[in-house]
């Protein structure tokens, strides 16, 4: 059981607080201010590792090492950026870190239309409404997200990247799903030797929401495409981050079935709930099954049944009790979520006669 932590000076949640969450084993972290495409500094990795270990925790994995757009587009300079990625993996491998989460979404990472939708109990959550997206000029999307973010910079919405957004859209204009898949395959084949050398598991995060946004291609959206990913580079180190909330944006995705079909290739799990309001319209909810549309018991049971052994974390939380935090990443609701998931797992294990 882990929680995501963005680092001192970025994340208002401190490691000493995280350590007090019952059942916590480690954190998922990153070098937050390093732009995509830049090689990670060895001393900075060792420093954050030491800081986390000094706090009585460990690094369970990195989320994320972001992929430069040239790699996703297949631009002429992609080998340069793949080279930097390989150097970063070496630095991580030498530091004893062997799980890397990444995504392959064009231009925008996760997308929401509201970062603080008020729910009936007064909690605020991320929400998404396709109708609103259809009315927004994509070049304005960055402003929509940042205006909403209480002065925090959000993962995936780094200002330096979004400054060139017009240019980015132009670069992606010739990219369709097939080309994006081919560019992903090229990238994975290039990095597999270094992953083998250090036994680093690569765990691609599904696209969120799990459909095309602003006409940009998206490929990590459903069981069929996830299976295509693991087969096209058939190395056990090429795996998936099972994010129930991202895949769950599409009600056609049967999360427990997807988990079973990816047995052995899920290296990391994000478990959270969402509530479907209408097609293309959803909001995040508490982790509790009854508060949303996903059956959290069946998701946790499926992970147990396939012998999933990687790190698992609750995902975004609601903002509750007036906490001042990065939207989606307060301590309070994520700690509640973690406790709930730990409880489900204890019951599943004991029901199967497993001691815990
Ligand atoms: Mn996720």
pLDDT of residue 352: 93
Which one is catalytic: 205, 267, 325, 333?
205
pLDDT greater than 90 at residue 237? yes
Confirm whether 260 is a catalytic residue: no
pLDDT band at 157 (very low <50, low <70, confident <90, very high): confident
Place of tokens 């870190």: 97
Q: Which carries the bigger pLDDT value, residue 111 or residue 291?
A: 291
pLDDT greater than 90 at residue 313? yes
Task: Provide DSSP, 211-275.
Answer: S-BTTB----SSHHHHHHHHHHT--TTEEEEEEHHHHTTSTT--HHHHHHHTTT-EEEEEE--EE
Residue 271's contacts (CB-CB under 8 Å, 6 or more residues apart) are 242, 244, 287, 296, 299, 300, 303, 312, 313, 314, 315, 337, 341
Distance 270 CA to ligand 1 centre (A): 5
Q: How many Cα atoms within 13 Å fall on the side-chain side of residue 336? A: 15
Distance 319 CA to ligand 1 centre (A): 17
pLDDT of residue 135: 86
pLDDT band at 207 (very low <50, low <70, confident <90, very high): very high
Mean pLDDT of the chain: 94
Distance 28 CA to ligand 1 centre (A): 12
Mean pLDDT, rounded, for 272-276: 97
pLDDT greater than 90 at residue 150? no
Mean pLDDT, rounded, for 166-192: 94
The model's pLDDT over 342-352, given as tens digits with 9 standing for 90+, comes to 999 999 999 99
Distance 98 CA to ligand 1 centre (A): 19
pLDDT of residue 152: 72
Which one is catalytic: 68, 101, 109, 270?
270
Distance 353 CA to ligand 1 centre (A): 30
pLDDT of residue 214: 87
pLDDT of residue 259: 98
Which one is catalytic: 243, 325, 333, 340?
243
pLDDT greater than 80 at residue 98? yes
pLDDT of residue 118: 94
Confirm whether 316 is a catalytic residue: yes
Confirm whether 315 is a catalytic residue: yes
pLDDT greater than 90 at residue 61? yes
pLDDT of residue 170: 87
Residues that place a CB less than 5 A from ion ligand 1: 243, 270, 315
What are the chain's domains?
A: 2-351 (3.20.20.150)
pLDDT of residue 355: 85
Helices (H) and strands (E) in the chain, counts: 14, 12
- Quick check: 15 and 57 in contact, CB under 8 A? yes
The model's pLDDT over 301-312, given as tens digits with 9 standing for 90+, comes to 999 999 999 999
Distance 243 CA to ligand 1 centre (A): 5
Distance 269 CA to ligand 1 centre (A): 8
**What is the percent of the chain with per-residue pLDDT over 90, rounded to a whole number?**
82
Distance 76 CA to ligand 1 centre (A): 31
Which one is catalytic: 81, 85, 128, 329?
329
pLDDT greater than 90 at residue 108? no
Confirm whether 243 is a catalytic residue: yes
pLDDT of residue 356: 80
pLDDT greater than 80 at residue 159? no
Distance 314 CA to ligand 1 centre (A): 9
């Amino acid at each position: 059981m882990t929680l995501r932590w963005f680092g001192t000076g970025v994340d208002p949640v401190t490691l000493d607080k995280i350590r007090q969450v019952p059942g916590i084993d480690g954190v998922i972290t990153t070098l937050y201010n390093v732009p995509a495409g830049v090689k990670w500094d060895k001393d900075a990795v060792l420093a954050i590792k030491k800081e986390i270990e000094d706090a009585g925790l460990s690094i369970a994995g990195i989320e994320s090492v972001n992929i430069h757009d040239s790699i996703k587009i297949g631009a002429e300079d992609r080998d340069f950026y793949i080279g930097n990625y390989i150097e970063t993996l070496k630095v991580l491998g030498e530091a004893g870190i062997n799980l890397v989460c990444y995504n392959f979404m064009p231009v925008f990472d996760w997308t929401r239309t509201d970062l603080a939708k008020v729910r009936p109990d007064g909690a605020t959550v991320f929400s998404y409404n396709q109708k609103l997206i259809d009315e927004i000029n994509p070049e304005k999307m960055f402003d929509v997200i940042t205006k909403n973010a209480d002065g925090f910079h959000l993962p995936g919405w780094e200002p330096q990247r979004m400054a060139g957004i017009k240019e980015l859209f132009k670069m992606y204009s010739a990219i369709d799903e097939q080309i994006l898949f081919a560019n992903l395959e090229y990238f994975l084949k290039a990095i597999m030797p270094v992953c083998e050398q250090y036994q680093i598991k690569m765990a691609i995060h599904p696209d969120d929401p799990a459909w095309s946004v602003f006409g940009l291609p998206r490929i990590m959206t459903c069981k069929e495409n996830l299976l295509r990913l693991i087969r096209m580079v058939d190395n056990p180190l090429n795996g998936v981050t099972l994010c129930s909330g991202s895949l769950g944006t599409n009600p056609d995705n049967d999360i427990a079935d997807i988990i079973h079909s990816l047995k052995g290739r899920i290296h990391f799990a994000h478990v959270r709930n969402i509530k479907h309001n209408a097609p293309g319209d959803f909001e995040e909810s508490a982790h509790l099954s009854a508060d949303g549309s996903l059956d959290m018991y069946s998701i946790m049971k499926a992970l147990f049944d396939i012998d999933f052994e990687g790190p698992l974390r609750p995902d975004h939380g609601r903002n509750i009790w007036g906490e001042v935090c990065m939207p989606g990443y307060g301590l309070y609701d994520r700690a509640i979520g973690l406790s709930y998931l730990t409880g489900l797992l204890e019951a599943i294990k004991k029901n199967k006669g497993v001691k815990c």
